[in-house]
């Protein structure tokens, strides 16, 4: 699999498919798509950490749907840590996603897992490449 190129994220089928699956409520499948990209990115570094944040956010959504609140908390906390780091490296938008919005959601899910409305949360990608 070709690694995610932040300068050409809109040309990465696996990345876009992960967003699509997440937005369809198929969080586990989104997790799987992004995990392949995480492996292709070498599992280390800023791009890999961004992908790991998405993986953890998807895992938190899976746990929220199953009402396994300790799992929501742990996955959402890790997603928040990784998203905060991604914002430090890349700014508020990366690979078409609003990192501030994702960070706020991860923090909310970690603080109030029983209120995590994962079925109505969507990843909105911009058409602008940043």
How far apart (Å, rounded) are the C-alpha atoms in residues 31 and 21? 9
Asked if 1 contacts 36 with a C-beta cutoff of 8 angstroms, the reply is yes
pLDDT score for 128? 45
pLDDT score for 24? 97
pLDDT score for 1? 87
pLDDT score for 130? 37
How far apart (Å, rounded) are the C-alpha atoms in residues 80 and 100? 10
pLDDT score for 103? 98
The three-point CA angle 70-19-116 to 5° equals: 30
pTM: 0.95
pLDDT score for 127? 54
pLDDT tens string for the chain (130 positions)? 899 999 999 999 999 999 999 999 999 999 999 999 999 999 999 999 999 999 999 999 999 999 999 999 999 999 999 999 999 999 999 999 999 999 999 999 999 999 999 999 999 987 544 3
Q: Which domains does the chain have, with CATH numbers?
A: 10-115 (1.10.3450.10)
């Amino acid at each position: 699999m070709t690694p995610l190129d932040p300068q050409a994220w809109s040309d990465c089928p696996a990345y876009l498919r992960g967003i699509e699956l997440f937005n369809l409520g198929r969080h586990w499948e989104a997790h799987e798509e992004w995990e392949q990209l995480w492996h292709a990115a070498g599992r280390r570094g800023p791009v890999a950490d961004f992908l790991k944040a998405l993986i953890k956010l998807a895992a938190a959504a899976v746990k929220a749907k199953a009402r396994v609140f300790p799992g929501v908390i742990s996955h959402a906390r890790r997603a928040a840590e990784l998203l905060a780091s991604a914002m430090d490296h890349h700014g508020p938008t990366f690979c078409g996603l609003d990192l501030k919005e994702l960070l706020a959601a991860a923090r909310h899910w970690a603080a109030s897992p029983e209120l995590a409305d994962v079925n109505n949360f969507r990843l909105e990608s911009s058409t602008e490449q940043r």
